[in-house]
Structure 1
Amino acid sequence: MTQARSIVLTEFGGPEVMRLASTDLAPPGPGDVQLRQTAIGFNYIDIYQRAGKYPLPTPTGLGHEAAGVVEAVGAGVTDLRVGDRVVYMNAGVGAYADRRNVPAAKVVRIPPGISDEEAAAVFFKAMTAQYLVKKTHAVQPGDIVLVHAAAGGVGQILCGWAKALGATVIGTAGSAAKCDVARAAGCAAAIDYTQEDWVEQVVAATGGKKARVVYDSVARHTFMGSLDCAAPFGLVVLFGAASGPAPAIDPELLNKKGCLFLTRPSVFPHNADPATFRANAADVFEAMRSGAVRAAIGARYRLEQVQDAHRAAQDRTVTGAIVIIP
């Protein structure tokens, strides 16, 4: 058997509960491939799961995405070969590892010109942005788009992609420094949503026009303001809850605010079918090649430094994506 190193949790808590362990890795089963992982993506959901906010059965691994090289294929796998560079998401928690078996249907080849680190840094985040700008609302030239948490991992990708599609993008972020990051990511204007009059500032930034679509991953601190930033018949997309759950509202409020539409989508249902998943991934890779999506890597940590990676993310000391190197 092959030896594998992976992060294991036996309890929930702070970064210190993550332990690096060595285990025997069996050959890949039918429909699976065995990967030697070269770069692991970090997402904020990893912190929530480690802390027990989204409890997992223990013992458990952590992590949802990684890039690597196929080292072995299981029975029935015909579309992947040993030596292929691939990336995956949603193959079950456990991406924090140097080797791993995953379902072949959950991986896609990384095209030439995109590095393993670039793919791991943005794949999950870019797949989120892809359904938001192409499916939830097909962003069109001339659209006014509002993106909350525009300096975050998904936020920066979302801003750049929406701008490339011809939208005027207004971003919000939680500090003046993060607003600078948002502008660099493609925002025509960036507003600090910790200021009391941030809604008025958002509307003023477009000359009094409101947004055709509002992408809100902050929720509790921004949701009610999001309703005030949407144009009549506009769409408010609640796709995360970084500050806590959004307040409950009476549906009649959507009518009073301008006959608004409200949705709460997520990335996994948009990629549940393997063929759809690979088509969406191809869209992401094309956006990376064109420059619409950029892999802004803010920090790299070794697998044995994963506790430091989580602390840096919690303390918000890193701007851009965190990549963990096995």
Structure 2
Amino acid sequence: MHAIRLHAFGPAENLIYERTEDPVPAPGQVRIAVAAAGVHLLDTALREGMQGPYPTPAELPTIPGREVAGIVESLGEGTDTSWLGKRVVAHIGMAPGGYAELTVVDAAKLHEIPGDLDEAEAVAMIGTGRTTMGILQFTDLGPDDIAIVTAAAGGIGTLLVQHAKNAGALVIGLAGGPAKVSLVAENGADLAVDYKQDNWATQVRDHLGDRRATVLFDSVGGATALAAVDLLGKGGKHIVFGWSGEGLHDGAPLTFTDEELAERGITSEGVLGPVMLQKAGGNIRVLEERSLAEAASGRLRPAVQRFPLADAAAAHRALESRGTVGKVVLIPRTASS
């Protein structure tokens, strides 16, 4: 098979498209003919040798990638034979191997792809989608809400805008640059603004008049998030699930003391990690199933940007430079042949 292999930690150019041996499924595993493999910002950190949430850096050489979809084409010993030939999607987890034409996955991690959802969309929902479902556990949006979504042209941001609109809320989407702002507007936001413009917060205030936002979905942190928090009214919620912003003081989570929160009359809560899993009853599959069902029903439509598998390095560079929209997905050549 062909795969992307990393032989040395470092820049995106270290992701090499080459032939390697076909993986063999162990007992309880399946082998998937990969039709789509997800690329996550965390993958870029792991490529550079950072540990991230993992106990140690990956052993080299390695095939990156933790989200895959495709068709089950062979089974390990003792694996349920009903999986054979099914279209499936899985979040592999700590074991890499997704950037390849073939990969092995524990059968316990599989979901059958529902309806006519395509594989790239399924990959978006098994990772980005499940995180979105996890975030939404911390607020119950309705017609009385005004929601601000940062990074609204991203994978999670796109889904949050759609969910908020489905709930009847007024939605303000922040994005960087005219092209992304246009996409946010097309996605249904009532107001889409370019946070790179100095007067973006004034644009929002002018649009709201005497109203104030009730919920801020914050994945950027720093100065942008602080300006957005200033738009929250009394009783507003600041929901933090990232800190990827640019500029002075960005790239770090925005935090407040209890006194500052009391003065503003808002709450602020980080929702990633154990707290999200605990909210889901300790079962991450609950969020995955909910995410896939939302996409299959048409209520949520993930934004997907596709790259050929051989162009994984370009995909990483685009992701790191904020040149992508939605979920980045690699497509093996065999998937379209």
Aligning the two structures, in what range does the TM-score lie when normalised by the shorter sequence?
A: 0.7 to 0.9
Tell me if the contact between 1:230 and 1:260 (Cα under 8 Å) persists in the aligned partners: no
Deviation at 1:54, TM superposition (A): 4.6
Give the distance between the partners of 1:37 and 1:13, measured in 2 at CA: 26
Using the size of structure 2 for normalisation, the TM-score is 0.84
Give the distance between the partners of 1:106 and 1:83, measured in 2 at CA: 16
For the structure 1 residues 112 and 253, does the alpha-carbon distance in structure 2 shift closer, same or farther, using more than 3 Å as the test? same
For the structure 1 residues 203 and 54, does the alpha-carbon distance in structure 2 shift closer, same or farther, using more than 3 Å as the test? farther
Q: Which residue of 1 aligns with 2:308?
A: 302
Correspondent of 2:167 among 156, 165, 168: 165
Deviation at 1:155, TM superposition (A): 0.9
Tell me if the contact between 1:41 and 1:122 (Cα under 8 Å) persists in the aligned partners: no
For the structure 1 residues 301 and 260, does the alpha-carbon distance in structure 2 shift closer, same or farther, using more than 3 Å as the test? closer
Gaps of 5+ in 2: 246-250, 333-337
Give identity over the alignment, percent.
32
Deviation at 1:53, TM superposition (A): 4.8
Report which stretch shifted further, 271-280 or 99-108: 271-280
Deviation at 1:274, TM superposition (A): 10
Q: Which residue of 2 aligns with 1:265?
A: 272
The yes-or-no answer on 1:235 pairing with 2:237 is: yes
Structure 1 residues 10-50: Cα deviation after superposition (integer angstroms, max 9, x where no partner): 33222111123444345322332221111112222222322
Q: Which structure carries more relative contact order (alpha carbon 8 Å, separation 6+)?
A: 2
Deviation at 1:285, TM superposition (A): 2.7
Give the distance between the partners of 2:329 and 2:205, measured in 1 at CA: 36
Tell me if the contact between 2:92 and 2:105 (Cα under 8 Å) persists in the aligned partners: no
For the structure 1 residues 88 and 268, does the alpha-carbon distance in structure 2 shift closer, same or farther, using more than 3 Å as the test? farther
Which amino acid in structure 2 is aligned with residue 254 of structure 1? L
Gaps of 5+ in 1: none
The residue matched to 1:222 in structure 2 has which SS? helix
For the structure 1 residues 102 and 180, does the alpha-carbon distance in structure 2 shift closer, same or farther, using more than 3 Å as the test? same
Give the distance between the partners of 2:281 and 2:32, measured in 1 at CA: 19
Deviation at 1:154, TM superposition (A): 1.5
Correspondent of 2:317 among 311, 315, 319: 311
Q: Which residue of 2 aligns with 1:64?
A: 66
Q: Which residue of 1 aligns with 2:181?
A: 179
Deviation at 1:90, TM superposition (A): 4.3
Q: Which residue of 1 aligns with 2:293?
A: 286
For the structure 1 residues 46 and 205, does the alpha-carbon distance in structure 2 shift closer, same or farther, using more than 3 Å as the test? farther
For the structure 1 residues 79 and 272, does the alpha-carbon distance in structure 2 shift closer, same or farther, using more than 3 Å as the test? farther
Q: Which residue of 1 aligns with 2:154?
A: 152
Q: Which residue of 2 aligns with 1:201?
A: 203
Aligned residue pairs: how many?
A: 321
The yes-or-no answer on 1:245 pairing with 2:242 is: no
Correspondent of 1:106 among 104, 109, 133: 109
For the structure 1 residues 161 and 225, does the alpha-carbon distance in structure 2 shift closer, same or farther, using more than 3 Å as the test? same
Tell me if the contact between 1:5 and 1:21 (Cα under 8 Å) persists in the aligned partners: yes
